[in-house]
Amino acid sequence: MIKLLKYLKDYKLQLILGPACKLFEAVLELIVPLVMADIIDIGVKNKDGGYVLRMGALMILLGAVGLCSALVCQKSASIASQGSGTRLRNALFRHINTLSFAEIDKIGTPSLITRMTNDINQLQYAVAMLIRLVIRAPFLVVGAMIMAASINLKLSLIFFIASPLIAAALYFIMSRSVPFFKQIQKKLDRLSLLSREGLSGARVIRAFCREQDEEERFKSANDESADTSQRVGMLSALLNPITYAVTNLAIVAIVWFGGGLVNEGEIQTGDIIALVSYMTQILLAMVVVANLVVTFTKAAASAARVNEIFELEPSIKSGENAEIEQRPDAPMIEFENVSFGYGGEYVLKNISFSARRGQTIGIIGTTGSGKSSLVNLIPRYYDASEGRVLVGGEDVKKYPLGQLRKMCAVVMQKSVLFTGTIESNIKWGKRDATEEEIRLALDTAQAMEFVDKLPMGIETPVTQGGKNFSGGQKQRLSIARALVAKAPILILDDSASALDFATDRALRGAIKRNTRDATVIIVSQRVATVKDADSILVLKDGELAGAGSHGELFNRCGEYREICLSQLSREEAESV
């Protein structure tokens, strides 16, 4: 938790003012029993109604001042906890955005979401409790014991016996329940994962009639979480009976022995009431301390999980150079003996090829042959394990990531749209895109035909994930978003798989006409999609099985020929 204290540095005033106000309130609380003792011993005993009213007014004043002090503390705690939590959440989100796909894949999206929400909320709560109660609760315990000793030293021995017994009971229960809180955090990650899968994959689940299986899987994880929470609850349930039993026995002892001292004239009746009040204050303060232990244990576990993300260094670092100037005579994209793996076996092995400016490169191969992995190396979503990837004649590792990725307009396999409108989604490619540029991009992507039919046109709302559009419509909008950027490299990673053949053909023709200066990389499993490319790369088990035009590959590459004949008639395959 110490590493996260820097997010509190701008809240020094609240960190000082809040506890000071709470300490002042605690002082007033310790005075109240003495005032009550005086009311009983002087006002009630002497039947002095005026004295009772005056001291009663004093108690009301003490309560009002204490309330104002508590409100100031509460306000300070709220400002510091929510402010630091907001800054921490922003910093964590910013750091996550610096991580490469490899680190995000390693941690997992559900876990990252839990850490950004539940864990940081826990830390916010801990900061609030730190300001409100960390000083107040121990001060009340010590203060109540001192005040008891000042009233009567003999009876205060009961406090010095009861307080350690209450503390021991709290330690016994907390030491056994605290480890469970760490387990609960991990089980929440599991629940978050299953919830995300179940909700995002609802259509697939229903298509395969697996609702019952998913319900059982979720129920199992939920029951595990509930069982752990119940075990903590059972332990915590012992807290009140044990502590209250000790406290009540102490109160009985105070009344029993105090009664004898009253008879002997060593102590007054009001002092007995004050001592009972102080014992109750000690009990409540110690219960608060126990809850603080739980709160800070949870916060420590959450802080460790948040720090784990902050300590995760991105494997892909931005180039330290200023903006790189490309060499006009060099190929736009070049792979030199590139191999790549996701930490285990290589999925790409010894790949070499080049693509000139304005050239269209098709990449084809069976499922799992490494097509997407290959194009992901160009904008440095991953780094090559061996060899070099060059863009504009320079190693991609030398480029500032911002410059490199602005040069690459990428359409992923899975189309992702964001809540907003069609226009706001297209402007992800270019923030200041004019309406004319947006319409040209939509027209090139073959999306204008359905956008024009929508009542609100490009102002049509887009729901989460674009679920109000079909798969083909989402793909075309994603392509339009990439086209509006007018980047020198356009990567279409199997982004027309949901389009019919006629729309696919029209799309390729429009892209060829309107992106003459761009280097276009088309990844597909359809021969028809890559057939007209200037050069086609054929991948097999991560290796380059062949490279060349459609005609050349059909005649001399057995892998490509097999793919062609599985999709096209011989006459169609042989036609150039």
Residue 315 in any domain: the answer is no
* pLDDT attached to residue 334: 94
Answer yes or no: do 150 and 224 share one domain: yes
For residue 371, give its domain range.
324-407+489-497+519-576
Q: Which pLDDT does position 300 carry in this prediction?
A: 82
Residue 416 lies in a domain: yes
Judge whether residue 576 has pLDDT over 60.
Answer: no
pLDDT at 259: 81
pLDDT of residue 78: 93
Q: Are both 77 and 216 inside the same structural domain?
A: yes
Residue 575: the pLDDT is 66
Cα separation, 335 vs 168, whole angstroms: 68
Q: Is there a single domain that holds both residue 458 and residue 541?
A: no
List alpha helices for 152-268, DSSP H: 153-200, 202-207, 211-237, 239-264
Is 331 found in the same domain as 297? no
Could you tell me if residue 332 is inside a domain?
yes
Based on the fold, state whether residues 188 and 244 are members of the same structural domain. Answer: yes
Reference 157, options 142, 145, 147, 141; nearest CA is 145
Q: How many domains are contained in the chain?
A: 3
Concatenated DSSP letters of 303-331: HHHHHHHHT---SSPPPSSSSPPPPTTS-
Residue 568 placed within a domain: yes
Mean pLDDT of 135-160: 86
Tell whether the model's pLDDT for residue 18 goes beyond 60: yes
* Same-domain pairing of 388 and 416: no
Least confident span in 5-9, 75-79, 91-95, 340-344: 340-344
Strand partners, 287: none
Using the predicted structure, report yes or no on whether residue 293 has a pLDDT greater than 80: no
End-to-end CA distance of the chain: 66
What is the rounded average pLDDT for all residues in the chain?
Answer: 86
The answer on pLDDT for 536 being more than 90 is yes
Q: What are the pLDDT digits (tens) for 319-377?
A: 777 778 888 888 999 999 999 988 778 899 999 999 999 999 999 988 888 899 999 99
565 φ, ψ to 5°? -70, -20
442 and 543 inside one domain? no
Is there a single domain that holds both residue 220 and residue 302? Answer: yes
Q: Is the pLDDT of residue 238 over 80?
A: no
> What is the pLDDT, as a whole number, of residue 194?
82
- State the CATH number of the domain containing residue 233: 1.20.1560.10
Question: Does residue 7 form part of some domain?
Answer: no
Least confident of 80-94, 166-180, 429-443: 166-180
Dist. CA 308–CA 316, nearest whole Å: 18
